[in-house]
Each structure stands twice: as structure tokens, then as C-alpha cells.
Amino acid sequence: MSQSITTSVRSLVEAAEKQIENLTVQQAIGLHGRDDVVLVDIRDIRELQRDGRVPGAFHCPRGMLEFWIDPESPYHKPAFAQDRKYVFFCAGGMRSALAAHTAQSMGLKPVAHIRGGFGAWKKAGGPVEEPAAKP
């Protein structure tokens, strides 16, 4: 018997975006480098190696997000215990909407996500550390 998926990822993202702060890429670029903001890159490490990264962004793979946020978890990261604004991004803005919603639901605040993600950041001319050239 085949599965019958009743909720699409698009509808999950749309629901999440109604509950969180959504930043344009221009707004996000304006926050880059501020001491009171942590940009959180939730892309897979292979995406960073292939496409580059935002200088100074904290890398947290999406699969570890809840574990790194929770101070009771053995995997907790101090980066999530600071009194700062957390701005999540992924490649295109869908995973980051879900991540920001999850983080907010866990009690992390304030949080936001970048609509359009790293792709929009790069296209808009935001600072990027290009990946190292392969030998």
C-alpha cells in the first residue's frame, strides 16, 4: 500500500512563516557583523564546501538543531545560550523557516529567518567566503 501524504512541505513552511519573523535578504545583510546577532547556517556541510559560506555565520546542521539548542542535551552548544537575535538561513529559505519555527517553539528568542536563503544572499551581493579550490 502506498503512502498518502496529507501535508506538503510548502504548507508546513507557509505555516511556520506565519509564526516567525521573515527577513528580506537586504535586511539580513544589514544585520551581518552585528554583535547582537548570530547568523545560523543550517545547510549541510557539503553545501558549505560546494557553495561557500557567510563569513562569521555559526554552522549548525539542521539535523542537530534541537540538540544543540537544548541546554539539557549532551550536545548543547553555548552559541545558543547567548542573549542575541538568531537569524537562520539555508540554501533557499524553506529549511530555515522550519528551523526558526522549531527554535522559537523551544523558547529561543528572538529568532528570524532569511527568505530566499543563501542563494538570495549571494545573488544580492552579501559577503561570501568562497569554498577552497580543490587541488
Question: In this predicted model, what pLDDT tens digit does every residue of 91-126 receive, in sequence order?
Answer: 999 999 999 999 999 999 999 999 999 999 999 999
Task: Give the residue extent of every domain in the chain.
Answer: 20-123
Q: What is the pLDDT of residues 6-15, one digit of tens each?
A: 999 999 999 9
Instruction: Give this prediction's pTM.
Output: 0.95
C-alpha closest to that of 63 among 37, 21, 98, 17: 98
* 21-23 sheet: strands from edge to edge: 21-23, 111-114, 85-89, 37-41, 58-59
Whole-Å CA distances, 42 to 95, 118, 133: 8, 10, 22
* Residue with the three cell numbers 529559505: 93
**Whether pLDDT at 36 is above 90:** yes
**Whether pLDDT at 134 is above 80:** no
State the sign of the Cα–Cα–Cα–Cα dihedral 63, 97, 103, 7.
negative
Q: Tell me if the domain spanning 20-123 has CATH number 1.20.1050.10.
A: no
- Rounded CA separation 61/75 (Å): 12
